[in-house]
Structure 1
Amino acid sequence: MMTAPQIKIPATYMRGGTSKGVFFKLDDLPEQARVPGPARDALLQRVIGSPDPYGKHTDGMGGATSSTSKTVILSKSSQPEHDVDYLFGQVAIDKAFVDWSGNCGNLTAAVGSFAISNGLVDTSHIPQNGICTVRIWQANIGKTIIAHVPITNGEVQETGDFELDGVTFPAAEVVIDFMDPADATGAIFPTGNLVDTLEVPGVGSFPATFINAGIPTIFLNAADLGFDGTELQDAINGSAEMLQRFETIRAYGALQMGLISDIAEAASRQHTPKIAFVAPPKSYSASSGKAVAAADIDLLVRALSMGKLHHAMMGTAAVAIGTAAAIPGTLVNLAAGSGKLDAVRFGHPSGTLRVGAAAEQQNGDWVVTKASMSRSARVLMEGWVRVPGDCF
């Protein structure tokens, strides 16, 4: 029996923040995959190794977690005053779909570096030494992100002494500014309320803050769920019953946020919204064994991504945390002590992260102009990925 030979596609495997993904230039993809549709989705699934009923991604580039089953497509920007268009695809692990409904804030840290190194940024904008400001158009959500990438001798500086909890080795610091991080309609709070009551049939009733900033997110109080906010991955991910409970809450939250019109739609929208729970500061040991002191943080946050508790914190969810913390009266702000908070340091399973946001009221509505955080990024491997020529 004759079978199609493998083809090779130029690609770069990069870490950005606490995530990893396979990066492509749009023009390097096979022609059928240069436009949205089934061919593109099938190709990216095969690259990652999904769907994998074993949940291992043995036959692909994925790492069998939500943080490592990611793909990025970049091109010179079609938007005025932007350098690069950034399209993110979250590949499901054991199901045959790619979720295009949101951004990956962690991989954003690698977008500027890739764009500079791969000729997507005009050379006149790149200093010989210093910081290159890369203006990114985030195509999934229609927002501007600015990456401040360090440059040494005309090339991206990847090594350095910046330490990021959840990443083993230090690297160069990349500052990321998420401009006007509310959703495209400008509605930070989709229900118009800072706190709502979320009714979940068969599960319970919970105070919740629904927010569209960085990524649509549902914030709950840890105590209302029976947690204290210091939980690590095994405490949540080891229980199928607990994960199903979170997924049910997430589905009804998505419905109340207006992201879906029927509960059944949540199953095909795993990437958004995120669900997270918050608590006041408390000392704990991070997953690495590092001691996190209550005095060193403003609050505790744990978040789930693609149905599992995240090992650290999604970059987009960090934007949501910073935004909600800056607005008095949200569950996040109350957990952090309430009041005007321009920046917070929160504890997550791998350690801590600081995020800031600029919020103000305009005509009675809250407006957030910018949220900022520091990440790091580096190239892990570059060359080609190979896939069977008939897989898409």
Structure 2
Amino acid sequence: MSQAAQTHGAQLRIPATYLRGGTSKGVFFRLDDLPEAARVPGEARDRLLLRVIGSPDPYGKQIDGMGGATSSTSKTVILSQSERPDHDVDYLFGQVAIDKAFVDWSGNCGNLSAAVGPFAVANGLVDPARIPDNGVAEVRIWQANIGKTIVCRVPITNGRVQESGDFELDGVTFPAAEVPVAFKDPADGEGAIFPTGNPVDDLEVPIEVVEGGVLKATLINAGIPTIFINAADIGYAGTELQEAINGDPAALARFETIRAHGAVKMGLIADLSEAANRQHTPKVAFVAPPADYLASSGKAVKAEEIDLLVRALSMGKLHHAMMGTAAVAIAAAAAIEGTLVNRAAGGGQPNAVTFGHPSGTLRVGAEASLEDGRWVIDQAVMSRSARVLMEGWVRVPADTL
């Protein structure tokens, strides 16, 4: 036996499924299928998921892993049958950094939430008595990162998940079956939609970021903590595509500075230096009134087809479409009079809006009510789709754990 064979063990072989959910992709695991050391939170779990995805990668490509070198494709999910009353499955999401040895557990992925329901049905995590032969299975999900309930309505044909269909989602090339997703009581904490108590705040930032050092901002906890600012206030039109932002290092640095200062004002971190270790949250997005533009696919988006424009950054880069959790934040903010999102959408109290993003448009709905002086969102709803791309085993070197 060679010295190399003696020194290096065989690769670990772990059951896994690679799924698309909405405009994201991720590697899904059943908790019980993970190596024992990775079944509990901690360094062993993080090391395993980093190696599965191919991070940290100083080249920024994730060539030696399952990641796709974007925030939308550097994702992992761990699922288990739920012991909580009235829930079917517990869902834990890990956003894997691309160039750092870091897994962010601070928030949810709204897009992959649409794939959790189908995976749970197909992998025996839902009571068979609750799955019709034909119709819709309502899968009740406990989102463990944020402690919230999500309900997926999964289409079933002949007792199996129906994945093919004619539902089209901008940002996804091919049509598939529609999966409506409801995010119940999406506000972070005990209904604290606005951590400062205000629909609009003066966010202080360095004068290098914006002249005068102050930005109007809506800071909201719904779906995921999000900082909304006006596109015009930072020199944008709201019609920008990825290359306009991601190809400009100075712009990315400005957005990261805004994100860090917003995180402090929202109470998510105590000091600016902590922002680097909380990359997944909060998100930062900029909004504008409707305007015509060409989406990244070349599709013409007309101003009259949308209520507002939104562009959002995730993990330091402009997202190619829209994060599902940020769409929940958009729906919630649009429904509350006076927020920057609401103003960009023309005011009032709409229970649904259609917004333009780099890949096209998306319709989201939410209903807001004022109870005892605070805003409450019962649920936010949107339609996504999901599809299994590959299933079997993922392999990582034995010395990963």
TM-score bracket for the superposition, by shorter chain length: over 0.9
**Secondary structure of 1:80's match?**
coil
1:167 pairs with 2:172 = yes
Q: Deviations over 1:322-350 (max 9, x none)?
A: 00000000000000000011000000000
Identify which of 93, 112, 126 aligns with 2:117. Answer: 112
The more displaced of 247-256 and 181-190 is: 181-190
Give, in angstroms, the shift of residue 358 of structure 1: 1.1
Match of 1:32 in 2: 37
CA distance in 2, matches of 1:76, 1:234: 42
The more displaced of 197-206 and 34-43 is: 197-206
Q: Deviations over 1:184-212 (max 9, x none)?
A: 23200000000000011232310000000
Match of 2:128 in 1: 123
TM-score in terms of structure 1 length:
0.99
Amino acid at match of 2:388: V
Give, in angstroms, the shift of residue 5 of structure 1: 1.5
Match of 1:143 in 2: 148
Structure 1 residues 1-392: aligned runs within 5 Å: 1=3, 2-202=7-207, 203=209, 204-392=213-401
Conserved 8 A contact 2:264-2:272: yes
Give, in angstroms, the shift of residue 219 of structure 1: 0.1
Amino acid at match of 2:189: A
Q: Deviations over 1:104-124 (max 9, x none)?
A: 000000000000000000000
**Which sections of structure 1, spanning at least 5 residues, go unmatched?**
none
**Secondary structure of 1:312's match?**
coil
Q: Deviations over 1:16-55 (max 9, x none)?
A: 0000000000000000000000000000000000000000
Amino acid at match of 1:129: N
CA distance in 1, matches of 2:188, 2:98: 27
**Secondary structure of 1:110's match?**
helix
Amino acid at match of 2:328: V
Amino acid at match of 1:305: S
Give, in angstroms, the shift of residue 390 of structure 1: 1.0
Aligned-pair Cα RMSD in Å: 0.5
**Secondary structure of 2:251's match?**
helix
CA distance in 2, matches of 1:47, 1:388: 9
**Secondary structure of 2:332's match?**
helix
CA distance in 2, matches of 1:170, 1:332: 29
CA distance in 2, matches of 1:185, 1:249: 26
Give, in angstroms, the shift of residue 377 of structure 1: 0.1
Q: How many residues align?
A: 392
Give, in angstroms, the shift of residue 253 of structure 1: 0.3
What percent of counterpart residues are identical? Answer: 76
Q: Deviations over 1:258-308 (max 9, x none)?
A: 000010000000000000000000000000000000000000000000000
Conserved 8 A contact 1:143-1:184: no
Conserved 8 A contact 2:191-2:375: no
CA distance in 1, matches of 2:241, 2:136: 36
Large movers: runs of 4+ above 3 Å: none
**Secondary structure of 1:128's match?**
coil
**Secondary structure of 2:399's match?**
coil
CA distance in 2, matches of 1:184, 1:139: 13
Conserved 8 A contact 1:166-1:350: yes
Give, in angstroms, the shift of residue 128 of structure 1: 0.3
CA distance in 1, matches of 2:367, 2:151: 15
CA distance in 2, matches of 1:346, 1:386: 40
Give, in angstroms, the shift of residue 226 of structure 1: 0.1
**Secondary structure of 1:332's match?**
helix
Give, in angstroms, the shift of residue 318 of structure 1: 0.1
TM-score in terms of structure 2 length:
0.97
**Secondary structure of 1:67's match?**
helix
